[in-house]
Structure formats: C-alpha cells, structure tokens
Structure 1
Amino acid sequence: MTIQAPGALPINTFGIPTVRETVTGEPELIYISGIPLKPWYIPGHGRLWVPIDNTGHAFTVFCRHIADVDELANDGRLVLVDGVTGSGKTSLIHKCVDHLHARLAEALGRPVDPAPRSPEDHWRPRERPAPGICIVDLSDRAEKVAYDDTGELRALDAINRTIFRHVVSGVRSHGHETPDLDRLVTDAADPVDDDHRPAHRLSELYERLSEVLRDRRLFALIVLPYIPLGTPDAHLRFVRGHLNFCERRIVFFAETTEPDLMENMAPTLPWDQRQLVTHLSIGPLRGNDWESFVQARLDLPGLPAAHVIIAPEALARITPENENPHGTVRGLQNDLYALGEIARLDGRDVISDADVIALAHQRLDDERMRRRPPASGQPGQKGPVE
C-alpha cells in the first residue's frame, strides 16, 4: 500500500488517514477531513481518537454498561449518543464498536489482529471483523436508505425496511449465505398497493434474524444512519422502533442532535426495555481540549518524514486563552486541516502565523458571501418591483 501522498509535497498531519483505490486498483493512503474515525476498520484511527470535551467519560459509561458481553447472547442493546452537530458522535460510536468488537472476539476465543508489525500496518484496513462478528456500518448510507429515486423522503416504515435489508445483506457479505437470510430479504420487501398479502412485521423479521445469528453463533453490530426526519417526534419514533428490534445478539448504535430524546422516550419504556439502552451525551469543546487534540495529531505512527507541523506562534494564535473559536471537534479538525493544506500546497512542512491569519480572513470572506443578499435575478432574489 502506498503511504506517501503523490509527488514531493509533505503529508498533512491534520488529515485523517484513509484508503482509496487508485486507477490501477492498488490501495493508497490519503489524508482528508470531514470523515469519522473508524478504528474497527483502520486500527490507527484508534490512536487519533482523543477524549476531549466529555467523550472520555461517555466512553467509560459505555464500557461499564456493556461490561459483560455474555449478556448479549440473551438480550439486544441500543446505544444512543446525543450531541450537537459536529461534536464527534459518529467517531464515538465507532470507538464503542471497536471496543465491543474486541471484547466479543476475545470472549469467542478469536482475538482481533495482533499488534501491527510495522508503523504502516496501523493504517491498513482490516479485511473483515473477527470470526463470529458482523459489523454493518450504515453511518454514511443515509441518502440511500432514506430517499426514493425521486429524492423524496420515504415513509418511516419503508426506511426501516430498507435498513433491515442492508443489515441482512451486511451479514451475508461477511460470508454467511443461508436460505434463511435469502427469505428474510424477500419478506422485508415494501408492500405495494396491489399486493394484498399482509406485510411481514419488522419485529418478526428481526426475531428471525436473531435466530439465524444464534444458530450460527454470530453477533451483529449495526451502526444506524443519522436521518433528518423533520421533527423530534419522527426521530423519537425511529429510535424507539429500533429499540423494539433489539433482539438477542443484535446491538444497534444510533445518534441524534435532539438533547431531550432519551428523556422524552424513557417514560414510555417498560423497565426491562429501559435496561437495554445505553445513553451517552457529548458536548462542545472546552478548556484546553485543542491542546490535547493537536498533540495527538502531531504524534502519528507510520507517517513519512515530511509531514506538516505547527509553529508555536501559530499554535498560540489559533488557540487563544479561555476561548475556543472552533466550537466543536469537527470545527477544530477542519480548521487544522485547512491550515495544513495552506502550508503543504506551498511546499512547506510548518504552519506559520501568517497561515492562521490568512485562514481567518478567508473564513470572514466566506461568511460575508454567505450573508450577502443575492443579486437581482439570482436564486433567492425576487425580480425587480415594477
């Protein structure tokens, strides 16, 4: 696998290493921004995860709530993470998936990969999870799941059925082809107007899937997509529905920007069902979170010699005392990546004070353009009054 970016330019340390396929079919490591960390897929992503704001506490709560993995053989689970947009919900979910994957693999007597033999191995994707574990990641599939061919948002039942078909396909893609799974895909088809056969209830289909998992001694870890359903009530029904689908050997991971969703849902839950929910909340950046974040990015294993660092005076400017202009971890990640690109594309491996000032001016210009009323005849501008 190629780990040096094309050409002689330095690596952007503040990008997230991920793999793409080149035109020759070979995998190549690139550094980008705007994606979640997936340590269960790329082991090195675990080294990039930094317990800033209260994500460290949230992860500890998760580990404590699902300490006994043997319980998953008898009951399903729903892990619900809430937080503002950009606060790192998806990365926290994948961190939890990675931890649960390792715990289950150990309990099954099939430990995950040994320690990487070389620094580059940190960034090589795993071909598949450990035997006995299926990870179905739908976190980046919201558009395919939620919208029909015309771009219209599907009804909630249709969305849930599409998710179920993706889940079954994910289990099959892990090398588990059975006639029972084929029938589940067929039975999960959306009912049509001229089809008078009763639709199979999704709760029944998940029960049958759970039986297949039990017979084959499998566990399914399912990362649900975040879908903007329009109203808090619609999102509550989406999450509540998947709690109803929590059969044994099935663990759902869901995220929401609705801070009161769990509080509103809890009174409607029977006591035994409430025990199946692990609720985690994360917030915006605080204190010196930026310092921990920057240090983690400067300490990556397996990077080529030429990679971007940040000058002390630039670091002081981007992180003023008692203030965090970035708001969320996504904002900080994107700003650092943008600064790295400014330096890298200029052939430098040090982010300077001038780069920080240039980015600040660029952000101000972008904000002015966003706020400026469109010219006459442009989208959003009515024609002249006669």
Structure 2
Amino acid sequence: MTNPFVVPGGVLGGHGPLRPWEIAEQDDYYAPVDNTQCSFEEFKTALGGGASLAAKGRTVLVSGGGGCGKTSLMHRCAHWLKQSGGPKATIFDLTEDGLDGADTPSRIRHVCGRLVDELELDGSLDEVPLTGLQERRDDPSKAFPYLSKIFQKSQRAAVVLLPPSEVFEEVARYAELARKNILLLAETSYPTVADTCRARLGPGTASQVLVLEVGMLHPGDGWRLVADRYARAGAELPEISEDTMLTFMEKRIAGTRGTTIHELQMVLQEVFEEAAGKERLDYADFADYYLRKARLL
C-alpha cells in the first residue's frame, strides 16, 4: 500500500522542501495550511506576473520558524514566476549553501560567485559576457548590475533562492543589489529581521522588501493535510477521522506550544507506515508513536 504522505519524487523518511520547478508532480502538492496559501497569493499580487521584473528588480523575504515551510514557499514562488510569462526565468537554488558564521560581505560575495559559477556550468552565456561576470564576481556592486544587463538583453530573468539570513543588514544589502530582471528570494527564522524589514524597507522605500510569513499550524490544519493527501491517493486506506486529527493537533499544540508542517508530515508518514493491516487509525496510534520515540532518546 502506497504511503499517501510521501510526496512524488520523495522517499519515506524524507522531509525536504517541495521543489515543483524540478519535480513537476509536486506542483499542486501544497496544502492550504500554516498561512502558506495566503502568503503565496500575496506574492502573486505583488509581483503581478513575470513581466513586472523587467521594470524593477525585487527582493522577497519569507519569515517563519524552523520547519514551517519557508523554503517550500520560496520554491513555489519561483515555479509560479517561471510559468507566468514575461522574461524566461532561470532559477538558481542556493538555499542549501552552508554559510554559518560568515559575515555579511563574505556571504554576499559567496552568492555572487555561485551565480557566476552556475551560469558558466549551464553554458547559456557567450564568452564575452561570461568573462565580464567572472571579472566582477568578487564585487557584488558591479556584478549584479552587469548580470541585470545580460538578462535584460537576452529577455531572461534570474530568480535566486538565497541561503537563510540571520541579520537585517544582509537582507537590506540584497535589496540594494536587486536590479531589473532579477528576483532575490530570501528566508529568515528571526522575527526581528522581518520586523525591521517591514519598518525600514516597506512600501514606498527605495529598496522595498516584500515580507511573507508562514507559521505554526492551527488545530484544523492536521485534518486539512490528511484530507488533501487521502483525496489524491484514490485507493482504500485506513480511516482517519477529522475528530482524531483535531484531538491530536490540539494536544500536540498544547503540549509543545505549537507544531509545524515538517513535523506533521513526518508523523503522518511514520504512523501510516506502522499501521499496516489496520482499518482505522485513532489518537492512540499517534500517542504510541511519540511514546516509542521517547523510549529511543
């Protein structure tokens, strides 16, 4: 029996972000939980389609706690932009670049160098513009305007998914560097970074940053995810009632001050896998799962 909580292209026990621009089957696997849908709609409204990037570069910051779906939302936004018309979007995924401990200038130079390397690898640039980029790779203030001109000339757009940011100054610097035909998608787990962006880089400012939020799950989100995944399965599966999921979510949220989409997907995958031969899953199955985990610690 196929586990309905393993997404297409994923594996049991795997809980990485959805990447619909790489795995087409994941395109509609976003469930309307943890404010993700509202933030996605806000992004679409603000961008107004890919054509808007030809008029102005943009910087977007996705804010939320660990496991709340920030990176998945970034991938969703990038995928939508790639399909929405306007300049042909090229996506650069740097979200897994480990830059812990590096200062802001070093982190931004790293991103700049990685963009040059990726463009060299994909073979899309002629020798002259590529050489020009390579000469500027250590100076973002020169490299980004040059990259913008290259992409404008070729009627393309660069969509850059950045490594997580810990300080406001880094996001502000990205906002200064964004140029026509460039979209920079950043993420942070620090509320103060998002709050400062809203206060200092809000609408009407020269280097505006669009701040999107994802968050902890609400009690009803558990059932919404189960109903969504079961509807896709199209097969006879062990019954899970709405009351069971509501009880589980309420107790989990009360006991831990919240739970995330990452944790919920992990729990559902493993509880379902352990339910072989059962006709029904109830709250006791979820409680037993956490008891077993506690004994292993």
TM-score, scaled relative to structure 2:
0.86
Structure 1 residue 31: Cα displacement: 4.3
Structure 1 residue 222: Cα displacement: 0.7
Structure 1 residue 205: Cα displacement: 0.9
Q: Is the CA contact (8 Å cut-off) linking 2:164 and 2:186 kept in structure 1?
A: yes
Structure 1 residue 185: Cα displacement: 2.9
Q: 1:91 aligns to what?
A: 72
- Are residue 273 (structure 1) and residue 206 (structure 2) matched? yes
- Are residue 102 (structure 1) and residue 83 (structure 2) matched? yes
Aligned counterparts, 1:135-146, within 5 A: 135-141=91-97, 143=98, 146=99
Q: What is the aligned counterpart of 2:228 among 285, 296, 314?
A: 296
Q: What is the aligned counterpart of 1:69 among 13, 28, 50?
A: 50
Aligned counterparts, 1:94-243, within 5 A: 94-104=75-85, 107=86, 132-141=88-97, 143=98, 146=99, 153-179=101-127, 180-189=129-138, 201-226=139-164, 229=166, 235-243=167-175
Structure 1 residue 324: Cα displacement: 5.4
Paired positions, count: 289
Q: 1:78 aligns to what?
A: 59
Q: What is the aligned counterpart of 1:312 among 240, 243, 247?
A: 240
Q: 1:351 to 1:340 in 2, by over 3 A?
A: farther
Structure 1 residue 259: Cα displacement: 1.8
Equivalent-residue separation in structure 1 for 2:196 and 2:279 (angstroms): 49
Q: 1:72 to 1:289 in 2, by over 3 A?
A: same
Equivalent-residue separation in structure 1 for 2:142 and 2:197 (angstroms): 22
Post-superposition CA distance 1:349-372 (Å, at most 9, x none): 766446434302123335xx4xxx
Equivalent-residue separation in structure 2 for 1:324 and 1:75 (angstroms): 47
Q: 2:256 aligns to what?
A: none
Alignment gaps of 5+ in structure 1:
1-9, 20-29, 109-131, 148-152, 190-200, 230-234, 370-386
- The one-letter code sitting in structure 1 at the alignment partner of 2:194 is M
Q: 2:4 aligns to what?
A: 13
Q: 1:45 aligns to what?
A: 26
Alignment gaps of 5+ in structure 2:
254-258
Post-superposition CA distance 1:266-317 (Å, at most 9, x none): 454493424x42211122111411111011112336x8x6x8x34336x644
Equivalent-residue separation in structure 2 for 1:349 and 1:169 (angstroms): 52
Q: Is the CA contact (8 Å cut-off) linking 1:83 and 1:259 kept in structure 2?
A: yes
- The one-letter code sitting in structure 1 at the alignment partner of 2:25 is G
Equivalent-residue separation in structure 2 for 1:164 and 1:350 (angstroms): 54
Structure 1 residue 342: Cα displacement: 2.1
Q: Is the CA contact (8 Å cut-off) linking 2:222 and 2:245 kept in structure 1?
A: no
Q: Is the CA contact (8 Å cut-off) linking 1:181 and 1:209 kept in structure 2?
A: no
Equivalent-residue separation in structure 2 for 1:248 and 1:350 (angstroms): 56
Greater share of helix residues, 1 or 2? 2
Structure 1 residue 88: Cα displacement: 1.1
Equivalent-residue separation in structure 1 for 2:196 and 2:288 (angstroms): 45
Q: 2:295 aligns to what?
A: 365
Equivalent-residue separation in structure 1 for 2:103 and 2:191 (angstroms): 24
Equivalent-residue separation in structure 1 for 2:172 and 2:279 (angstroms): 49
Structure 1 residue 238: Cα displacement: 1.4
Structure 1 residue 44: Cα displacement: 1.9
Q: Is the CA contact (8 Å cut-off) linking 2:49 and 2:81 kept in structure 1?
A: no
Equivalent-residue separation in structure 2 for 1:12 and 1:154 (angstroms): 41
Q: 1:75 to 1:261 in 2, by over 3 A?
A: same
Equivalent-residue separation in structure 2 for 1:324 and 1:254 (angstroms): 33
Equivalent-residue separation in structure 2 for 1:138 and 1:310 (angstroms): 39
Q: Is the CA contact (8 Å cut-off) linking 2:57 and 2:178 kept in structure 1?
A: yes
Equivalent-residue separation in structure 1 for 2:251 and 2:116 (angstroms): 43
Equivalent-residue separation in structure 2 for 1:168 and 1:12 (angstroms): 41
- The one-letter code sitting in structure 2 at the alignment partner of 1:182 is T
Structure 1 residue 178: Cα displacement: 2.2
TM-score, scaled relative to structure 1:
0.67
Equivalent-residue separation in structure 1 for 2:205 and 2:104 (angstroms): 25
Q: 1:23 aligns to what?
A: none
* Greater Cα offset, 167-176 or 209-218: 167-176
- The one-letter code sitting in structure 1 at the alignment partner of 2:206 is Q
